[in-house]
A and B are shown apart, each in its own frame.
Chain A
């Protein structure tokens, strides 16, 4: 066997908090051979980002390596000073950061930022740099590179920004690229193109890639080997193929079972639907831009949802999903078209009638961190809708709230806590409990599981499914993740640029997509390789 390019041996990293040192990774070891793709997979808090940061010497100030070695081409770099590491950062190891929107300097042009790495590592001639920058931008697939080099980050889309960051990462042809969740902020189709690009560049220069991801589907598609982390311990390391077919550790088995993109489960069994709970007819929503211009965010959307079933709205960012949701729950006013919930036209309601109507339809937000008041306790968050509406006294309210919290699986000890002392999954359970406490008929879930880890996501989806069965709820489920939609929905509408390109039962749309766009979306679901294996 050849010497590995990077070899991480018994790496333990601790963070200092006050007087404590908390270890977040425990004796993590793995190797990366030249040209190999190794995926570091785990849920949030598993230590995968910490490990990646330690490799490139970019741990936060309160973090330090307690033991272990990081060998690059046989030399231990774990004890190098930051200044000494500067020489290899960018030239031998480079990083593609997680969030493309916050990783570029907003006041510098793209060209200046790509050129910076060349300048830092020795290039002085402005013309040479400009030519190289244009070449790099063209290489990562940006059209009109000379123009892009003069533009600022805000003039580019998320996918384009990620391409720029990749251009910076490959500028000096490093031996190892660390990609920290490079696509988690992007739409599926963009995600696929970006990952294809990284793959292609890797093959061209025989670069090794350390891919940090929470998505086992992405890891399955792209990696040669997979390292599964949980709570800072390695649970399993192995060839991607072998690990996907027969995972050894219980944690990897659970992760595999929970990943929606990898599940081969059949479509949902049809639910006995009643009458129409939601009818949307010819919905058009325009936003005014200045005096005369306007932008049509939703253009002629029509669908209906039978009582007790789930309808999904699928599309990429900017497709009009959120605008539709806000109109349906009555926060927005459609420009034209009708929305009837249980026979009532929302647009006709005003003032107190609208307030009373809200009992019937509740919204669960995408981000469980911003949708709960940081100053309220869990109990008072869930109690609040009851205070607003029902004439129940304090005792009856407490009973109802406690029953419901138990139902969504929140232990009693958490009820006096404030949201910041809860995990993401627990917060989303609180948000679901708040939505259900008024016994609504329709619950709208706006990307309600997108911000959660796969395992937590699977639990929440199961909870939603159980609640639907027991309470006969109707769900309107908005998502960009087709794999999740396949799992939870009965019917689906696919939106593109505000227009509905396809609608029908999930089975029809997934197995016999009519439009090219739907086909592209379905093809972009990660995890194809493992499904082919199964």
Chain B
């Protein structure tokens, strides 16, 4: 979770810089929506790391006699058609959905930023070729592209994540290229060449650090949409195979019982929506923080 650590560092700096010392002033300065967003993300990360702390039920092995129970104190979100506790499945599913989203963002971030930085810093033919490739990627509808990649790579959580990542390469590449082009024209980059920097050292020391802030904001945003995209693939049956408790798959499985057991689709749906909204809120604050 290194990307989280770095995002965290970005958003907390303004708060620590604040000069107000009394507790009241500090509390007033904190944005409750942002705190809530961080709490949501922290909670689902905790679910992913240590699910057994949150539920004692087995997410895969059901109790047939307990099937399709409405929410009670024991099964707080009810049970599904095989008698499995829905809350337990949500908690254990966090690991699949989050790692999926994380892999997707890393793939997009690394490949996209590399492409964008190379295009932005070399210019000329290389830039033209790279950016036309990006144009092609952008012109294919996202879902169609993901499905085609999965069909090429084969089914599975990781392959679905890679597919989602590849569709976000284009937007990362566009953004990082424009940032690099902006930074590259600045006096201090020219000054760095003037004081004897080689192409790579200037790129590493000056261009990258000064152009990555908004790319990180996009990464946080993409994290939200990646969860959504992976759930979509899971729902369509292109992601993790059953009985994996992946969130999109949970919604798809619950669909058959929507008239008798509404909680089976509603609960995972709400979880996905809340996590995506939280990621968007955090991304917004990263974007503003620069």
Chain A residues with a Cβ under 8 A of chain B:
18-20, 329, 331, 355-356, 358-359, 362-363, 365, 367, 370-376, 384-385, 388-389, 431, 434-435, 438
For the complex with contacts A18-B20, A20-B19, 12 further pairs of A-B residues with Cβ separation under 8 Å are: A19-B25, A356-B196, A358-B193, A365-B191, A370-B186, A370-B187, A372-B191, A373-B192, A373-B206, A374-B188, A375-B209, A434-B191
> Given the complex, which residues of B lie within 8 Å of A362, measured CB to CB?
194-195
Known contacts A18-B18, A374-B210, A375-B210; A385/B188 CB under 8 A: no
Contacts of A374 in B (CB 8 A): 188, 210
Is B242 on the interface with A (CB-CB < 8 A)? no
Of the A-B pairs whose beta carbons lie under 8 Å apart in the complex, a sample of 22, sorted by A's number, is A18-B20, A20-B19, A331-B190, A355-B196, A358-B194, A358-B195, A359-B196, A362-B195, A363-B191, A365-B191, A370-B187, A370-B188, A371-B187, A373-B188, A373-B205, A376-B205, A376-B206, A384-B192, A384-B205, A389-B196, A434-B191, A438-B196
How far does the Cβ of A384 sit from chain B's closest Cβ, in whole Å? 6
- Number of B positions contacting A (CB below 8 A): 21
- Closest chain A residue to B18, Cβ basis: A18
Question: B201 within 8 Å of A by Cβ?
Answer: yes
Q: Report if B122 contacts A (CB, 8 A).
A: no
Total cross-chain contacts (CB, 8 A): 64
- Known contacts A18-B19, A434-B191; decide if A373 and B210 are in contact (CB<8 Å): yes
Q: Please judge, given known A-B contacts A373-B188, A384-B192, whether A355 and B210 are in contact too, CB under 8 Å.
A: no
Q: Chain B's nearest CB lies how many Å from the CB of A330?
A: 8
Give complex CA distance A379, B251 in Å: 56
CB-nearest residue of chain B to A390: B196
B199's nearest neighbour on chain A, judged by CB, is A355
A interface SS class: loop
A59–B192 CA distance with the chains assembled, in angstroms: 39
Give 10 closest A-B pairs by Cβ, nearest first.
A385-B195, A388-B196, A371-B187, A370-B187, A373-B188, A365-B187, A389-B196, A375-B209, A358-B196, A373-B206
Interface residues of B (CB under 8 A from A): 18-20, 25, 186-188, 190-198, 201, 205-206, 209-210
| Distance of A389 Cα from B188 Cα, bound (Å) | 18
Closest residue on chain A to residue B29 by CB atoms: A18
B264 to chain A, nearest CB (A): 50
How far, in Å, is B200 (CB) from chain A's closest CB?
A: 12
> Smallest CB–CB gap between A392 and chain B, Å?
14
Chain A residues near B20 (CB-CB < 8 A):
18-19
What is the minimal beta-carbon distance from A360 to any residue of chain B, in angstroms? 11
- Measured in the bound complex, the distance between the Cα atoms of B195 and A362 in whole Å is 7
Measured CB to CB, the nearest residue on chain A to B25 is: A19
A434 to B190 Cα, complex, angstroms: 13
